[in-house]
Each structure stands twice: as structure tokens, then as C-alpha cells.
Structure 1
């Protein structure tokens, strides 16, 4: 089965569709118009973002509490020309840029995870030499951290997750094999590789039982002794962009399936599948929309599925969220984005609250001007 990978559900969906780019005149919105955008009936509102370069996108977000959150991505990218890494921080009152110039690499920060103001990690990728950066938050900015194999050919990092006690796991490749890099609070060390050859990993998540799940070309669970490799959901040219493990026999996967091909501009279909311990079962038939893509899924305080961010092909002027309701999903629209086509690629719940951050870009074509950062907030 051939799959098309796109960076956190953003680049591949938009570039792969072949849809015509939105003219700049149609996508530009003045500051006064942005300020007028208010809450929707469901409680979503647009958050103010710090000004920055065009061709900007936020890829991932994490929150440690009401007064501390992070979002990371890339700015000033133009087609194949690499952009500049980007990180913004929420201090309880406003989002502001975090200086990354001292890191000295071009590309993007592709992942962030943190549970306290002093325990956060991020992953950066240098498009110049292909090297990976493991970044640690020191309470004010991001600093490069050393790890085994740093700078070596055949070693790369792509995702990271952090436990409440400060332990962390980064997904990547070492010695040409997909595996996890584990932080025990003192040192990083590589864990045994997946038994599935050189399968690439993209997402890494902690389950309520403490197991660590990874996904992209393979879906697997590490129980701190051995790997269990799961089948992937069925679909033609399917990409899993988000994963929510609940228990060994209960997990949710979201993404998009592009089908067997077709004319330029053909949109994908959404993917929502649930693992029952034996197989993946599709849960998309009763969704409010099925043409487009789903990007991120987060759980409630008990780890049960709660909210999904998505892109509705037929309603591109708002983000389309899906909220778990009973045994089904109900749709919620984000705030109206006048003249824009927002795409929110990640969700971050704020511990101890009902607040959720959603991050992304103002237009599906995030690698070209005039795309700007976009952040939406529930609660």
C-alpha cells in the first residue's frame, strides 16, 4: 500500500490536491477585521498572534497550564526554499515569538511537548544538511540538547512526548532503524528498534497505561519491554496524521485517504478509525463531513477521545471541529475567517481546564505567501 505523507496533515493535503491557489487579494484580512472576529456559539474564538513573516505555519502545540503553552512551525518558506524555524510562547496573557536565531539552522520546528514550564522538549529539522535538533526549554528560550547519534548519518528525530513526571520519548531513526529515544530525567538512550525494518515514525503519544505508541508507516506500541506492531487502517494512499491511544484494545486514528487517483484538484476523504484490539473499524460514515482531512485528535482528562480538528473541503472559511458526544461525533465550526481558508493542524488541551488551543495557518497553501500564523481557542 502506498501512502502519501504530509507534515502534520498540512503540506501533503494541500499540495497533493492540486487546487488553485487563493489569490492574495482574496486572502488578505486587515487587523481591524481580525479584531472583529468573535466567539462562535460553541465557544471558539480567534487568538491574536504576534506579527511575523509570511509563508508561515504552526505545526504543533503543547500546553503546561493556563499560563504556559508553546506552538512551533516555520516561517518565510517559499516553495522548495527552506524557511526559518518558528516558536511562539503563551504566558497567560499573549502569544509572543521566542528567539531561535542562536540555533543556527534553516527549516522548521516540527514537534513540541511539555507538562510544566521547566519540562518541555521540541524537535527541529535542518533542511540544509538534514540534521535533527533536540531542543529543550529553559524557562525563557529553546536550547540545543545533546543526544546519542546527534549529527550522525542515519540518525534523525521526528516527534516527542513528555510524561507528567518529566520523562520523555522521542520518535526517530538510529542506525537506519525506527526506534524511540528515551529521557529518564538524566540521560537520553535509544531503545530497541521496531521489528518492521526501516518504517518511518511521525507521531508519538503516551497512553493512560503508560505505554508509548508511534505511527506513520507503521503503528506500534511499546510497553517498556517489547514492541507490538499493529496493522494500519485500510485505505488507498492513506496517511495517519493523528493518533490517540486509550488502551491496548482501544485507539483512534485520524488522517486522509487520497484514493486511486483522479483529476487535478480531487480532494481526499477523511479517515477516522478505531482499533478494537483486533482490527481497525471505520467510524467516518456518520461524521458531519467526509470530504477533506482530519489532522489532530485529543482526549479528555481520562484519556478518552474528545475533540478532532479537520478541514472540510466544502466549507473552507472556517475550521471544522468534531466533538465526541455519546457514541458519536458532532460538528463545531471555528470562527469565520473572512477571505481565508484556515487549516488547523494540531490541538493542545490545557491541563485542569476545558480550554483547547488549535494552531495552523491562514491558508491551505502554507508554504507560499501570504499565509500567516493562525491560532484558535476554545474556552
Structure 2
């Protein structure tokens, strides 16, 4: 795990604050307990995303040791009592994003590397893979013929089972071309190549909703209406913000989290909310931290996860924001054993899951994978 990179590539409360409303107001003493369910034998591993749906929970990332050149993709499935890691179609590479539509409809994207000579590896190419309930298989996306540089950064499955993948390629002139792919469930019905010109410099995550509406985040927010992308207007005070996690709860209730560089704090956390009319900044603590994902528990309360590199904020490195009694985001929870946290999701029972690296990172590398659950 490399520090300080957005997940798909690798705050002071000024300006307009948003009143946060949830299904239940948390009491001052309502501090939830996290349980460490980290996978065993995961030294050298880190998990970049975790998703759950229909009783299936998956986390993806990478494993690094002397044999992986430079690292190997990892996809772990929760069995109810522990994690299992089925065989991967790629020997070298990493998985950055996972989407779970059903127990037999799981998709993951990342980068695949091939070895070059005895001690090297190439620059990598797009890796899309599908779990059919029994095994992982690599899926070939319909990039234009002849392209040699391909990449994918985000994947999602909508309620109808359609698969959405964001990526790009270098054309014959060496120019990078962004593209959005839509595929039927299982990928067996073919793929449609759609415009990828989001207006963003990079995309870290997709959220696909009803009617072919897709939101993309990265160095901003963009919305696809089925035909074209429209970059959204976010508060000017967040110019330069980098967003890594998005949750679309309704057309008028969309959340995104990330960070913005700060001369004094280095990185400060960012949360923005769309109420159907405009994107507004939500107040966050004036401290060093960056957020990678957000999920909502069974009572509709948000949980944002990320990392801090300020020991005074949290020496373990994990960074979790929830709501206090006044409805303001603050640090009230520290998952035991957790270091940097990159993914969050909530299951049908309202339990919140998170994944990343375990505490004790040195030189930018977490010692092992971490997973936690609360509720």
C-alpha cells in the first residue's frame, strides 16, 4: 500500500455547512463497537475495497512477497466465519475495486502485469474479472483493436444486473482516451462502449443507478445521463479536492468523501452532499486526515473511513468519522487493530464493514490486511 494516493490511482469547517439528517439521532454515548475479522495469513497484503450484497461479501486488494513481481491480486470472500481467497486469473497485479450484484455476480477491476525477463515486469494493462459463484475468470473488454495501453479504475453493478466499467486506452497517436463500458449480467450478452469524457482528469469510483444514470468521482463529480457526461459544480472552497468514495442513497441524497491538500495539515478530510439542487460542503474536523469511502448503517447514520498520518490524531493510522449528538462529523470510533482504511459498505442488516491495512505501517506498507465489522 502506497501512502497518500487516491484509491483508484493511488477540514477546517469554513464555508457552507450542511445539516445532516438521519433516520435516528445518535446519542452522545452511542459509540459502536467494531470487531476485528481480519484474514489470517495475510502478511504483505492490503485490501482496497469491500462490498456486500444479497449475503455475499468480498474484499479485494494485493499481496506482496518475494514471488509476486511486484505484487499479486487478491480477492477474498467472507464465509460467515472467516475469509477464503479463491485462485486468481492473473498471477501478477492488483485489484482496486469490486462490485457485488449477487453471490454469482461479482466483478473486480485492477491492473495485470506480465513478467519481462527474469526480474522485471511490464507497465500493466486493464484487468476485469468475474466471479460466477464457482471461480474467477478474466473478461476481455472491447477496447479498439491495436491499442497497447489499457486501464480500468472503477466498476459497479446496477439494480438490473448491468455491469458498468470505467477505463481508457492510448490511441495510435499516444493520446489517452477515456471510455465507459456497459455489459449485461455475466458479460455474456456483449458489451457496449459509451463515452468516457467525464470532464474529470481521473475517475476513482462509479455509482450506477436506475435508468442508466451513473455518477463518477475523482477530481470532482460527473453525471452520465445515458448519453453524455456533465461535470457537476462543487463549492469553490473545495477546488483541488480529490474524491474517493460515493454513496447514492436517492436522487436528492448523494454523498462523496475524499480530501484536499492543506499547507498546514497536509491533508484534510472532505465530505460533500447533493440535496437534489446543489452540492454543498459538510463540516469536518480541522485535523490531518483523508477519507476513502462512506457507508450508512441500519439507522441511516453515515460512517466515513480513511487514514491519518498524524500520530496526535490517531497513532494507529485509521480515521473514522461519524455523527455526534449535534449531528456534526467527528472522530468517535477506532476499529481495533486497524491501520489505514480504504473501503466501507453496509449489509442488509445494517452492519457496517470496513477493510484496509492493519496497524503498524512502516515505510508506506501495511504489515497485513485488515477487515472489521460493527453492528
TM-score under structure 1 length normalisation: 0.76
Which among 223, 226, 250 is matched to residue 224 of structure 1?
Answer: 226
Give the secondary structure class of the aligned counterpart of 2:7.
Answer: helix
Give the aligned partner of residue 150 of structure 2.
Answer: 155
Are 1:354 and 2:350 counterparts? Answer: yes
Question: Deviation of residue 154 (structure 1)?
Answer: 4.7
Are 1:60 and 2:59 counterparts? Answer: no
Are 1:143 and 2:129 counterparts? Answer: no
Give the secondary structure class of the aligned counterpart of 2:180.
Answer: strand
Give the aligned partner of residue 27 of structure 2.
Answer: none
Give the aligned partner of residue 374 of structure 1.
Answer: 370
Give the aligned partner of residue 203 of structure 2.
Answer: 201
Are 1:116 and 2:111 counterparts? Answer: no
Give the secondary structure class of the aligned counterpart of 1:92.
Answer: coil
CA distance in 2 between counterparts of 1:182 and 1:250 reads: 24
After superposition, give the CA deviation of every residue in 1:193-217 in whole Å (9 maximum; x if it has no partner): 3263x73222101346752101113
RMSD: 3.3
Mapped contact 1:297–1:305 kept (Cα < 8 A)? no
Which among 148, 159, 166 is matched to residue 161 of structure 2?
Answer: 166
Question: Deviation of residue 238 (structure 1)?
Answer: 2.8
Mapped contact 1:132–1:157 kept (Cα < 8 A)? yes
Are 1:343 and 2:340 counterparts? Answer: yes
Change (3 A) 1:119 1:317: same
Mapped contact 1:178–1:201 kept (Cα < 8 A)? no
Question: Deviation of residue 130 (structure 1)?
Answer: 2.0
Change (3 A) 1:305 1:294: same
Gaps of 5+ in 1: 13-39
Give the aligned partner of residue 271 of structure 1.
Answer: 270
CA distance in 1 between counterparts of 2:363 and 2:53 reads: 29
After superposition, give the CA deviation of every residue in 1:302-360 in whole Å (9 maximum; x if it has no partner): 9x7722113353123373423357854354313333xxx6111100211x211121000
Give the aligned partner of residue 183 of structure 1.
Answer: 183
Gaps of 5+ in 2: 11-29, 114-121
Change (3 A) 1:77 1:201: farther
Question: Deviation of residue 120 (structure 1)?
Answer: 0.8
After superposition, give the CA deviation of every residue in 1:24-64 in whole Å (9 maximum; x if it has no partner): xxxxxxxxxxxxxxxx951211114120342x210011112
CA distance in 1 between counterparts of 2:156 and 2:206 reads: 6
Give the secondary structure class of the aligned counterpart of 1:361.
Answer: strand
Give the aligned partner of residue 291 of structure 2.
Answer: 294
CA distance in 2 between counterparts of 1:89 and 1:131 reads: 25
Give the aligned partner of residue 50 of structure 1.
Answer: 40
Give the aligned partner of residue 241 of structure 2.
Answer: 238
Change (3 A) 1:210 1:364: farther
CA distance in 2 between counterparts of 1:363 and 1:236 reads: 32
CA distance in 2 between counterparts of 1:366 and 1:145 reads: 36
Give the aligned partner of residue 15 of structure 1.
Answer: none
CA distance in 2 between counterparts of 1:111 and 1:122 reads: 6
Give the aligned partner of residue 283 of structure 1.
Answer: 282
Give the secondary structure class of the aligned counterpart of 2:77.
Answer: strand
CA distance in 2 between counterparts of 1:259 and 1:236 reads: 12
Question: Deviation of residue 121 (structure 1)?
Answer: 0.5
CA distance in 2 between counterparts of 1:138 and 1:330 reads: 40
CA distance in 1 between counterparts of 2:71 and 2:211 reads: 39
Mapped contact 1:59–1:110 kept (Cα < 8 A)? yes
Change (3 A) 1:273 1:369: closer
Give the secondary structure class of the aligned counterpart of 1:354.
Answer: coil
Question: Deviation of residue 232 (structure 1)?
Answer: 4.8
CA distance in 2 between counterparts of 1:211 and 1:98 reads: 33
Give the aligned partner of residue 83 of structure 1.
Answer: 71
Say how many residue pairs are matched: 331
